[in-house]
């Protein structure tokens, strides 16, 4: 039997486009002699569909898509992920399902058993868990079909009572298929691979895995579909961060024999985390624009490392002809910031403009002078500079059809070191899930072969340049210290005493954690953040604005 793994990018709610993409892949595979083609989880509707799943019309379109796809499955079988209506009155209205299509119709349906309800996942909000288990018989093979989380119950302290493969293995399947929508994070590729290998080794069965590729707003799906041998070794992997497909021949003799039918099946399992982060963010930007129907990005270029990195990523994602970098110097901006920005845009070959903001800022100050009279220069005056820049950038974006890219980093977002309606403006936060220290490391990696981001940007002390001789260190501890504390609190969810035990001063820990909690209200108004960590700001981190924990 010839099986093809089809790793495609799907667009949430775009039933016509998704269905046609699946049908095209089926026709191509059929011409190439494929017996079974496998697509990813919720392929018809895209993942995550979120509250679209509450619309009966949305589900009706998904089910109609399955009927249309099934008609093309003659002389070839397909496995396609799609939601389906729960035919029983009890329980949730829907199942997260994998349809087995053959002979022009739906032959069998497998429903997802384990529904993740943590971090960015909220599947139990919509779906009823499966409670019955049946392998799929196709040709001379029996297939244990599972859906994403169904394989993630391997550890010593399992999250779920049921493990689907423990039930399916009783029916003596020949191999496992898992269709998934597993989003990228800096640690997910290794964790996912270990999980797949652990399942294959535990059940001593080959495993065919198909993952989503692409991005849905803040979530990035990296692909990496794979075949794992029954001894737990990675037999083959599809590409990361792009669409791909591979075919395999399966023969049933004394044991199952798998042969790759791809001319280039050389495995490259070593990953570089900086290249993965770069590829993920580029993909996230590109698909955000494509799926919204935009092509052009604008951003404010300050001469600092954050906006420099976003400029580089945007140019890679959208092309230099579609990027507009705007320098917005004030009376406090240094000449080296302007010079460094010009050097960057020249290196990238992108369009730039210089728009001084002093007159705009002074206009605001004149309007507010009767109210500010008798007060000293402070935070309000600093924020007015940032908001002047935000107004200008949004005006240009609206007028000429650009999307403004936000350039705030995770360290700033965590402690509130940003101005609402100023530098926190934007349609998408590109690096809001990277700490400042990670941004430096990524930029050094980008410059590994030649200087793209000017070295002066990498070596100068960070500054918002909102008052004379201002430095980030005036308000914050060194980023090396700050980022460690933030990581322990945000990613590792450690409390203050646990962080203190790591060697940090009590007063500093309390100060930083208080800043994080008191600035939650700002983050609720920030643009969506491209997720590259296990705990990004946004839907995956839900804390109350008005809570009083730790202060």
**Rounded to an integer, what distance in angstroms lies between the CA atom of residue 16 and that of residue 11?**
10
Q: How confident is the model at residue 263 (pLDDT cuts 50, 70, 90)?
A: low
Contact status, residue 393 vs residue 424, Cβ threshold 8 Å: no
> Residues 30, 112, 246, 436: which is the catalytic one?
112
In the predicted model, what is the mean pLDDT of residues 435-445? 98
| Nearest in space to 416 (alpha carbons), one of 306, 287, 520 | 520
The pLDDT of residue 95: 98
What value, to the nearest 5°, has the Cα angle with vertex 152 and ends 146 and 158?
125
467: pLDDT strictly greater than 90: no
Per-residue pLDDT, 548: 81
Structural domains of the chain in order of their starting residue, each with its CATH number: 2-265 (3.60.110.10), 275-467+519-523 (3.40.50.620)
Beta bridge partners, 241, equal none
Average pLDDT over residues 185-189: 96
What pLDDT does residue 155 have? 79
- Is 112 an annotated catalytic residue? yes
User: If you average pLDDT over residues 411-423, what whole number do you get?
Assistant: 95
Choice among 231-235, 262-266, 436-440 with the minimum mean pLDDT: 262-266
pLDDT at 468 over 90: no
pLDDT over 80 (residue 262): no
- Average of per-residue pLDDT across 241-269: 84
- For residue range 280-336, what is the model confidence (pLDDT) as tens digits? 999 999 999 999 999 999 999 999 999 999 999 999 999 999 999 999 998 887 888
* E strands in 402-495: 403-406, 428-429
Per-residue pLDDT at 101: 98
pLDDT confidence bin for 107, thresholds 50/70/90: very high
- Using the predicted structure, report yes or no on whether residue 357 has a pLDDT greater than 70: yes
**pLDDT above 80 for 472:** no
Range with the lowest mean pLDDT among 86-90, 139-143, 239-243, 313-317? 86-90
* CA-based nearest residue to 541, from 410, 404, 417, 407: 410
Structure-token pair, residue 117: 């309800």
Does residue 240 or residue 159 have the better pLDDT?
A: 240
Q: Which of 73, 148, 425, 443 is catalytic?
A: 148
Mean pLDDT of the chain: 95
- pLDDT number for residue 258: 86
Per the model's pLDDT, the better-predicted residue between 319 and 547 turns out to be: 319
CA atoms of 4 and 159, how far apart (whole Å):
32
Can you read off the two tokens belonging to residue 177?
Answer: 């298929």
- Give the span between the Cα atoms of 161 and 191, in whole angstroms: 21
Catalytic residue among 21, 41, 186, 315: 41
Please determine, for residue 490, whether its predicted confidence score (pLDDT) is greater than 70: yes
What stretch of H or E contains 277? helix 273-292
473: confidence class by pLDDT, cuts 50, 70, 90: confident
- In sequence order, the 6+-apart residues with CB closer than 8 A to the CB of 143 are 135, 136, 137, 173, 174, 175, 176, 177
Q: What is the pLDDT of residue 266?
A: 66
Q: Residues 527, 513: contact at Cβ < 8 Å?
A: no
Contact (Cβ atoms closer than 8 angstroms) between residue 179 and residue 40? yes
Position 447 scores a pLDDT of 98
Q: Which of 186-190, 262-266, 455-459 has the lowest mean pLDDT?
A: 262-266
Task: Give the residue among 221, 184, 192 at the shortest CA–CA distance from 47.
Answer: 221
pLDDT score of 265 more than 70: no
Determine whether 443 is an active site residue.
Answer: no
Residue 475 has pLDDT above 90, yes or no: no
Task: Quickly count: other Cβ atoms within 10 Å of residue 461's Cβ.
Answer: 7
Reply yes or no on whether 148 is catalytic: yes
Tokens 């009279």: give the residue. Answer: 373
DSSP 210-238: E--EEEETTEEEEB--EEE-TTS-EEEE-
**Is the pLDDT confidence value at 157 over 80?**
no
Residue 156 pLDDT > 90, yes or no?
no
């Amino acid at each position: 039997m010839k099986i093809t793994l089809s790793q495609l990018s799907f667009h949430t709610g775009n039933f016509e486009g998704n269905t046609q993409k699946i049908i095209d892949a089926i026709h191509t595979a059929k011409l190439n002699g494929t017996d079974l083609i496998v697509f990813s989880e919720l392929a018809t509707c895209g993942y995550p569909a979120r509250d679209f799943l509450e619309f009966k019309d949305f589900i009706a379109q998904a089910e109609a898509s399955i009927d249309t796809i099934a008609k093309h499955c003659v002389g070839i079988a397909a496995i396609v992920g799609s939601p389906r209506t729960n035919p029983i009155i009890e329980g949730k209205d829907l199942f997260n399902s994998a349809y087995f299509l053959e002979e022009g119709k739906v032959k069998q349906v497998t429903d997802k058993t384990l529904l993740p309800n943590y971090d960015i996942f909220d599947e139990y909000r919509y779906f009823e868990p499966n409670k019955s288990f049946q392998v799929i018989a196709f040709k001379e093979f029996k297939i244990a079909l599972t859906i994403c989380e169904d394989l993630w119950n391997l550890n010593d302290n399992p999250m779920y009572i049921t493990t689907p493969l423990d039930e399916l293995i009783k029916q003596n399947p020949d191999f496992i298929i898992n269709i998934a929508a597993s989003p990228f994070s800096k640690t997910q590729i290794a964790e996912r691979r270990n999980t797949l290998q652990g399942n294959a080794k535990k059940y001593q069965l080959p495993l065919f895995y198909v993952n989503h590729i692409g991005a849905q707003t803040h979530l990035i799906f990296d692909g990496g579909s794979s075949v794992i041998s029954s001894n737990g070794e990675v037999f083959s992997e599809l590409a990361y961060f792009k669409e791909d497909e591979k075919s395999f021949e399966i023969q049933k003799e004394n044991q199952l024999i798998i042969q790759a039918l791809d001319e280039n099946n050389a495995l490259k399992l070593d990953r570089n985390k900086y290249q993965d982060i770069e590829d993920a963010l580029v993909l996230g930007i590109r698909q955000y624009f494509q799926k919204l129907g935009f092509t052009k990005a604008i951003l404010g270029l300050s001469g600092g490392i954050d906006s420099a990195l976003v400029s580089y990523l945007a140019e890679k994602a959208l092309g230099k002809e579609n990027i507009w970098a705007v320098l917005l110097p004030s009376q406090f901006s240094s000449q080296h910031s302007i010079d460094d920005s010009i050097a960057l845009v020249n290196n990238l070959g992108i369009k730039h403009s210089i728009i001084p903001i002093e007159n705009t800022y002074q206009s605001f100050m004149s309007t507010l002078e009767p109210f500010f009279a008798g007060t000293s220069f402070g935070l309000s005056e600093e924020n007015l500079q940032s908001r002047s820049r935000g107004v200008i950038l949004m005006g240009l974006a609206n007028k000429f059809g650009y999307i403004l890219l936000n350039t705030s980093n995770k360290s700033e977002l965590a402690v509130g070191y940003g101005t609402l309606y100023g530098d926190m403006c934007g349609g998408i936060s590109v690096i809001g899930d990277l700490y400042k220290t990670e941004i430096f490391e990524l930029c050094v990696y980008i410059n590994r072969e030649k200087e793209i981001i000017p070295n002066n940007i990498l070596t100068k002390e960070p500054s918002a340049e909102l008052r004379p001789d201002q430095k980030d260190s005036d308000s914050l501890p060194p980023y090396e210290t700050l980022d460690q504390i933030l990581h322990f609190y945000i990613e590792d969810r450690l409390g203050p005493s646990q962080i203190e035990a790591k060697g940090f001063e009590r007063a500093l820990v309390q100060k930083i954690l208080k800043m994080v909690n008191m600035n939650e209200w700002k983050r609720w108004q920030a643009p969506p953040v491209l997720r590259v960590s296990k705990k990004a700001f946004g839907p995956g981190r839900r804390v109350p604005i008005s809570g009083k924990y730790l202060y």
